[in-house]
Amino acid sequence: MQYRSFGKVPEKVSALGYGCMRFPTDAEGNPDRARAIALIRRAYEAGINYFDTAYGYHRGQSEGLVGEALRGIREKVFIATKMPCYMIEQEEDFERIFAEQLARLETDYIDFYLLHTLSLNTWENVVLKFGFLDKLTQLKKEGKIRYVGFSFHDTEEAFYPICDGYDWDFCQIQLNYINTDHQQGLNGLYHAAKKGMGVIIMEPLLGGRLADPPPVAKACLPQGKTPVEWALNYLWDMPEVSLLLSGMSSEEQLEQNLVTAEHSRIGCLSDEEKKAFVAAKKAFDTMAFVPCTKCKYCMPCPFGVDIPEVFAAYNNTAIHKKEEIAAAYAEMSGKASLCKDCGKCETLCPQHIAIRQELKKAEAAILAE
Ligand code: SF4
Ligand code: SF4
């Protein structure tokens, strides 16, 4: 495993971090505990020292699972978890949720604590309104939190006031070779790194879509590596990037990513290879995609729409045969047509997708002759 500097944080982190939101699941959608624990232990043995969970991951089951998996090795790893700012209704929720997180994780301190999925709205109407920054400072003084950061999903303009609004140790942003100008984009990465913050990258594979990019984008990538390897190396090449989070759902994925991480280096790309990513992005941008990352924050829909699956089918129309997708869609139980326009999902989507409108477009495109 390669270890990298983490901004002003004196400790080194593994180039690859384990995102604990996409464990293998059973038929009911609950995590397969035995497999998830085995995956975490294998990751630890292979040198991964950063495990990233959150209050809401796996419908509240991820933190407990991570706590159980790390029994006996807790002191040897970094645990990251997050305050769900999007769920906060009153100031006292902060203390209640934090105490619950410590209990679930079977620990009395969190190494890396984040305010989860900040936007300008949650920054102003939750974080500042309820005095969360003072609470974080206090917890740090008490040794219950070692380093403080935030994860972000909003526009570049919203990024700067948040990034400059507190003495953060680190931040977690969405970045990959397609999203260079999406949300905070590359400009936000450079800004945070210049301030001495460690930067964690989430969605390096754009919710898995860069593992199998559309042919026009794939054709632009250089030869000699798989699309996954290129996508990860694009990020590891940059000195501003500390670690990449990958929500690994299978043993095979974990083993493949471990090998790629082992070969990761700052400055690993040639100028020609860097140009190829710009061309691949240009080609990708011409496709009519919905930028859904399958995070499932919008789920469950009270009327049974399987929102991420509808968008996945829509996005797949650019890659696979339309007739096959239409046939699979016909068998799906959570079709877009079930949508009753209640709007609940749109308030929860970190990608700010106009879900209702896009669902209609998706179904029309999938079923079009
Ligand atoms: S707007 Fe439609 S898809 Fe979204 S939660 Fe309501 S019914 Fe479900
Ligand atoms: S629609 Fe938004 S909230 Fe739902 S899975 Fe996609 S990105 Fe996540």
Q: What is the pLDDT of residues 159-172, one digit of tens each?
A: 999 999 999 999 99
Given the CA of residue 341, which atom of ligand 1 is nearest to it? Answer: 1
Residues 187 and 325 placed together within one structural domain of the fold: no
- Cβ neighbors of 259 (< 8 A, separation 6 or more) are none
Q: What is the pLDDT of residues 63-87, one digit of tens each?
A: 999 999 999 999 999 999 999 999 9
CATH number at residue 133: 3.20.20.100
294 falls within a domain: no
More confident residue, 321 or 24: 24
Q: For the stretch 48-66, what's the b/e string if a residue is b when 16 or more beta carbons lie within 10 angstroms of its beta carbon?
A: bbbbbbbbbbbeebbbbbb
Q: Distance between CA atoms of 16 and 228, rounded to whole angstroms?
A: 13
Q: For the stretch 112-124, what's the b/e string if a residue is b when 16 or more beta carbons lie within 10 angstroms of its beta carbon?
A: bbbbbbbbeebbe
For residue 52, the SS3 value is strand
22 falls within a domain: yes
300 falls within a domain: no
Q: Distance between CA atoms of 212 and 215, rounded to whole angstroms?
A: 8
From 292, 305, 359, the mutation candidate for ligand 1 (largest count of ligand atoms within 8 A of CB) is: 305
Running DSSP on this structure, what letter comes out for residue 118? E
Q: What is the DSSP string of 291-310?
A: ------TTPSPTT---HHHH
The torsion of the CA quartet 311, 58, 173, 254, rounded to 10 degrees, works out to -90
Minimum mean pLDDT range among 108-112, 279-283, 336-340: 279-283
From 182, 203, 353, 360, the mutation candidate for ligand 2 (largest count of ligand atoms within 8 A of CB) is: 353
pLDDT value of residue 27: 87
pLDDT value of residue 190: 98
Residues 212 and 263 placed together within one structural domain of the fold: yes
Residues 190 and 73 placed together within one structural domain of the fold: yes
Residues 182 and 257 placed together within one structural domain of the fold: yes
Q: Which residues line ligand 2 (CB under 6 A)?
A: 292-298, 307-308, 311, 348-349, 351, 353, 355
Task: Provide the residue type at 189 as one letter.
Answer: L
298 falls within a domain: no
Q: What is the DSSP string of 183-250?
A: TTHHHHHHHHHHTT-EEEEE-TTTTTGGGS--HHHHTTSPSSS-HHHHHHHHHHT-TT--EEEE---S
Residues 250 and 332 placed together within one structural domain of the fold: no
For residue 150, the SS3 value is strand
248 falls within a domain: yes
Q: Of 231, 254, 285, which closes a domain? A: 285
**pLDDT (mean) for 312-337:** 84
Question: Is 261 close to ligand 1, i.e. is its CB under 6 Å away?
Answer: no
Given the CA of residue 342, which atom of ligand 1 is nearest to it? Answer: 6
What ligand has the least distance to the C-alpha of 353? Answer: 2
Q: What is the pLDDT of residues 121-174, one digit of tens each?
A: 999 999 999 999 999 999 999 999 999 999 999 889 999 999 999 999 999 999
Name the residue with the closest Cα to ligand 1, atom 2.
339
What ligand has the least distance to the C-alpha of 294? Answer: 2
Given the CA of residue 299, which atom of ligand 2 is nearest to it? Answer: 4
293 falls within a domain: no
295 falls within a domain: no
Residues 23 and 67 placed together within one structural domain of the fold: yes
The number of angstroms, rounded, from the C-alpha of 238 to the middle of its chain's C-alpha atoms is 19
Confidence of residue 207 (pLDDT cuts 50, 70, 90): confident
Residues 200 and 156 placed together within one structural domain of the fold: yes
* 319, pLDDT greater than 70: no
Question: Is 356 close to ligand 1, i.e. is its CB under 6 Å away?
Answer: yes
Cα–Cα nearest to 160, from 189, 132, 182, 127: 189
The whole domain housing 336 covers 307-367
Task: Kindly give the distance from the C-alpha atom of residue 112 to the centroid of ligand 1, in angstroms, as a whole number.
Answer: 34
Q: What is the pTM of this model?
A: 0.83
Name the residue with the closest Cα to ligand 1, atom 8.
301
In the chain, the percentage of residues whose pLDDT exceeds 90 is: 83
What ligand has the least distance to the C-alpha of 352? Answer: 2
290 falls within a domain: no
What ligand has the least distance to the C-alpha of 301? Answer: 1
Residues 244 and 326 placed together within one structural domain of the fold: no
Average pLDDT, the chain: 94
Q: Distance between CA atoms of 70 and 77, rounded to whole angstroms?
A: 8
SS (H, E, C) 63-117: HHHHHHHCCCCHHHCEEEEEECHHHCCCCCHHHHHHHHHHHHHCCCCEEEEEEEE
Residues 75 and 167 placed together within one structural domain of the fold: yes
Q: What is the pLDDT of residues 254-301, one digit of tens each?
A: 999 999 999 999 999 999 999 999 999 988 887 757 889 888 999 999
Task: Kindly give the distance from the C-alpha atom of residue 228 to the centroid of ligand 1, in angstroms, as a whole number.
Answer: 32
Residues 210 and 127 placed together within one structural domain of the fold: yes
The number of angstroms, rounded, from the C-alpha of 335 to the middle of its chain's C-alpha atoms is 25
What ligand has the least distance to the C-alpha of 312? Answer: 2
**pLDDT (mean) for 7-14:** 96
Task: Kindly give the distance from the C-alpha atom of residue 345 to the centroid of ligand 2, in angstroms, as a whole number.
Answer: 8
Residues 121 and 191 placed together within one structural domain of the fold: yes
Task: Kindly give the distance from the C-alpha atom of residue 108 to the centroid of ligand 1, in angstroms, as a whole number.
Answer: 39
Name the residue with the closest Cα to ligand 2, atom 6.
292
Rg (CA), the chain: 20
What ligand has the least distance to the C-alpha of 334? Answer: 1
Given the CA of residue 349, which atom of ligand 2 is nearest to it? Answer: 3
In the chain, the percentage of residues whose pLDDT exceeds 70 is: 99
Q: For the stretch 262-287, what's the b/e string if a residue is b when 16 or more beta carbons lie within 10 angstroms of its beta carbon?
A: eebeeeebeeebeebbeebbebbeee
Task: Kindly give the distance from the C-alpha atom of residue 298 to the centroid of ligand 1, in angstroms, as a whole number.
Answer: 9
User: What's the structural domain count of the chain?
Assistant: 2
Residues 93 and 149 placed together within one structural domain of the fold: yes
Question: Is 15 close to ligand 1, i.e. is its CB under 6 Å away?
Answer: no
Question: Is 364 close to ligand 1, i.e. is its CB under 6 Å away?
Answer: no
From 179, 355, 360, the mutation candidate for ligand 2 (largest count of ligand atoms within 8 A of CB) is: 355
